[in-house]
Structure 1
């Protein structure tokens, strides 16, 4: 199966965290840089979906500018689907810039699960995570009718085109929306480091895996 075009959704204003969310740092690394590093696990063909061209400086990643007539993350998905079609990619995989613990197997598992559906959406328990989903490029043709219905949610669009849900644990889709969320993400990273320190062969003088 061909690798997808990966589009990082980073056009939100991030008002609850004081603005400029993609540029906020987690352990000295910008959220957007962490997202790019994660996205490269699944494809070398990346795009950055923004509301304005200069929102995120300092990245060597092509920028897609969202349609201002579409509100919310659906605008980023529209940009992703158009870019996938233009790049002759069968799929667009979207991920938000503010979900720092995405599972490394996200892309492969969604591709393995999509079958003949138009979308594959991660789920954890009762929660769906449609901003982290795999979409067939042909779903672009379904977007005008959905917009004409007056609906704007990603979950609603996934339901309209038909999707398969793929289960993961919920903690992997924790997203950073506020200062307290950022602090919680820092605590999670601290906990991961402590867990590594407790493994055999990871003490002083030994290299971690």
Structure 2
């Protein structure tokens, strides 16, 4: 899998959001819009979950001793990644009680959000992403990795020059080599013809 190639191009915009946004609800919406922009060429990827949680509920698990934190915290969750952003009376955003500099927070967000670094390069990776929930099941916009189409595209979700991914939902995904797929289609065609005799 690869990272989004122009990810660092969004660093300035993310720093501006952190510097100019004072409200946690506005931060949530601004980050969500920015993430959609980052993923515009990979819109089949699932956005992280953005949730506002009571800051007090995070005491001793995320932050430890800052009594001046505002009452609400933005939780960004995806896969095994949890990021927590809150403001304090010093008017700064804090990330995970470790960072309070907008540039450092930006670097952490861009480095740690899984979907920014798991762009698929073949059908096997698409399958893994679908099964992990990092990709939405939207076959009409799945990436295709080869210009050479398989002989039969029935239930084929994506392909490259060696393999293809077949299925109608996440629960029945299967990888076939192109040779295996051609043999399966030949058998199906044979049985259809025999059944019509």
TM superposition score normalised by structure 2 = 0.31
Larger radius of gyration: 2
RCO higher in structure (CA 8 A, sep ≥6): 1
